[in-house]
Amino acid sequence: MTDSTAMPKKLFIKTYGCQMNVYDSERMAEAMGAKGYVTTEVQEEADMVLLNTCHIREKASEKLYSDLGRLRPLKAANPDLKIGVAGCVAQAEGAEILRRMPLVDLVVGPQSYHRLPEMVEAGGKVVDTDFPTEDKFDHLPARKALRGPTAFLTVQEGCDKFCAFCVVPYTRGAEVSRPAARLLAEARDLVSRGVREITLLGQNVNAYHGAGEGGDWTLARLVRELAQVDGLERIRYTTSHPNDMEDDLIAAHGDVPQLMPYLHLPVQSGSDRILKAMNRKHTAEQYLRLIERIRAARPDILLSSDFIVGFPGETDRDFEDTMDLIRTVGFGQAFSFKYSARPGTPAAEKPELPAEVADARLQTLQALVTQQQRAAQDAMVGREVGVLYEKAGRLPGQMVGKSDHLHAVHVADPAGQVGQLVRVRVTAASTNSLAAEPLLG
């Protein structure tokens, strides 16, 4: 008989929501890896199931409870199965999760992930949703698992903006930036292990002001220094706030070749009245002027945004203002959401619009952004672009990667290798991807 204690334990992680969570899940897997856990894709064979949750919209957090309900038979069959809830719902609801779902063993907020292994070892029911003073990044093991030639690097966390609809300032806490020297060291390490593209992450990434040589560095300074790292071919960052889009960062888009021509810059609404009620602290006109300055620095930049429709008090006129802004800017990509009241936020106090009004507006807006996205994709046909191969495609001889402008591209290239940066010509477009062939020579 084999000794079952010698078998590595299996960890299944389900990630909801944003890229920040994708990155956090990887880091938690690494922290648990140091304690002998290996990750599995098969929930049924896991010794521990960890749900890394998102609280940003109601649907996202409801999903947690329905998924937990579905874990009941698994826990009944294996009472030793550990079930953990991480992420922003964990932060917002804490011990309430244990009360509502007694099958849960541990609840861990985003600032306490480095404590996860000791929580698991401690056993019993544990809740840790502190905002500890120590930096979790100092306590997490060095990056191990790399998924191909692209990597995320968290440079900043939290948000001080307090948009009236948003839970992030409550669940992720105040803005904190990581020191520049650490980030440069981490980036060099990633590149030495084959990474060629780094996406800098932060809830408010362009508010970055980490300690660096000679005082606090801006995101632009960090980008410029990263561009000096040999072998790092591409730099991206997300998500930005319009009010933190400083001149030096706009200038970097014009003169740092490694900084890719794609910018996700959420505006949320095109109505000044609604922007004010949302506490966004900028007008539609200011956003449009900002876009002009960014396009002056980098004319081919592809712009992306988030929109909320049906915010309390939004009239047909306000909605038309949003549609006008979309028509004026022309977004290559856009994410749109129906307003959902989040407990504890100022907007949640206000009366909501009838669901059918919000639904109809969402459909109208999505039709426009889909049309713009399709036009932007079609405009790529015949153009030459750079593509970084991330993996082999489903068809034989096909490679899949992202263009400089973050389009998904399928390239017919039997000689292609993962990690190669190639020039290709786009041959066809669909709404979500491009087809291309390599340029010879």
Binding positions for ligand 5AD, rule: CB under 6 A = 56-57, 165-166, 266, 268, 306, 308, 337, 339-340, 342
Rank residues 202 and 266 by Cβ distance to ligand 5AD and give the closer one.
266
> What is the CB-side half-sphere exposure of residue 388 using CA atoms within 13 A?
21
Rank residues 172 and 407 by Cβ distance to ligand SF4 and give the closer one.
172
Least Cα distance to 187 among 147, 149, 232 occurs for: 232
Which of ligand 5AD, ligand SF4, none does residue 162 bind to, with CB < 5 to 8 Å depending on kind?
ligand SF4
The least distance separating ligand SF4 from the CB of residue 168, rounded to whole angstroms, comes to: 4
Q: Which of 21, 91, 177, 204 binds ligand SF4 (CB under 6 A)?
A: 204
Give me 333's structure tokens: 């990509």
Site for ligand SF4 in 163-182 (CB under 6 A): 163, 166, 168-169
CA-CA distance, 26 to 244, in Å (whole number)? 28
Q: Label the pairing between strands 48-53 and 262-264.
A: unpaired
Rank residues 115 and 236 by Cβ distance to ligand SF4 and give the closer one.
236
Please give the distance of CA 54 from its chain centroid, rounded to a whole number. Answer: 11
- In which residue are the tokens 């905002």 written? 131
Is position 203 an interface residue for ligand SF4 (rule: CB under 6 A)?
yes
Rank residues 279 and 398 by Cβ distance to ligand SF4 and give the closer one.
279
Q: Which residues pair with 391 in a beta bridge?
A: 400
The least distance separating ligand 5AD from the CB of residue 310, rounded to whole angstroms, comes to: 9
Which of ligand SF4, ligand 5AD, none does residue 340 bind to, with CB < 5 to 8 Å depending on kind?
ligand 5AD
Mapped onto helix, strand or coil, the DSSP state of residue 407 is coil
Amino acid letter, residue 126: V
Q: Which of 159, 301, 434, 436 binds ligand SF4 (CB under 6 A)?
A: 159
Which of ligand 5AD, ligand SF4, none does residue 110 bind to, with CB < 5 to 8 Å depending on kind?
none
CA-CA distance, 412 to 420, in Å (whole number)? 14
Please give the distance of CA 355 from its chain centroid, rounded to a whole number. Answer: 28
Which of ligand 5AD, ligand SF4, none does residue 241 bind to, with CB < 5 to 8 Å depending on kind?
ligand SF4
Separation in Å, CA 371 to CA 254, 277, 340, 364: 28, 29, 25, 11
DSSP 394: S
CA-CA distance, 401 to 379, in Å (whole number)? 19
Site for ligand SF4 in 216-245 (CB under 6 A): 241
The least distance separating ligand 5AD from the CB of residue 34, rounded to whole angstroms, comes to: 31
Site for ligand SF4 in 101-130 (CB under 6 A): none
The least distance separating ligand SF4 from the CB of residue 314, rounded to whole angstroms, comes to: 16
DSSP 232: -
Rank residues 207 and 399 by Cβ distance to ligand 5AD and give the closer one.
207
Query: Is the CA virtual torsion 257, 258, 262, 265 positive or negative?
Result: negative
Rank residues 199 and 340 by Cβ distance to ligand 5AD and give the closer one.
340
Contacting positions for ligand SF4 (CB under 6 A):
159, 161-163, 166, 168-169, 203-204, 241
